[in-house]
Structure 1
């Protein structure tokens, strides 16, 4: 599958941590990780018996990653989850999501310090 051979509207099926996800190619293409995976740069791509691309990551966090790719927004303000999403953004190589997570974590830290004073 290469960029030239895949339609932006093609539906990509993923299995993340045992959970099924379907999305458009153009949604995933915002991530360098998925660009490399879908264009065949990654040679060790694992697929399930039904042809979905398997990714050994947390499915609950992937829901937020996919939501970010669709909306360009991280919706949680939970400090722990923000740290987890930062790690996911780094794994999936989504620079804008990573920066947004860092900014939200910093805001949480500033708010915490202000409450303590």
Structure 2
């Protein structure tokens, strides 16, 4: 079984547990299906970023999706620091999944794709505050 990315997040930023409503009453994120569903959504959107970067050299997200994500992240109290912690956990999870095929090139590609997603969400968070 793979390491739960949220376990890594909580090790690096324990206060982040309160950002996930479905984690407040559990001590074991590894067995929480909602957190795995959340991780799958982050992975899917980052995959979409990878494809767009490869095909178009830019990333464009649906306005409604990014506005909604920005609003939710703002309401939950997510900070810029949390995006970096999630990125680290995300990259560690990918590295674990690909094993010996992991390379600096893969790390940079996945990192860049995640950065585009995080920047879009953060941009919407900032726009909502203004």
TM-score (norm 2): 0.31
Bigger Rg, which one: 1
Asked which structure has the greater RCO (Cα within 8 Å, sep 6+), the reply is 2
Structure with higher helix content: 2
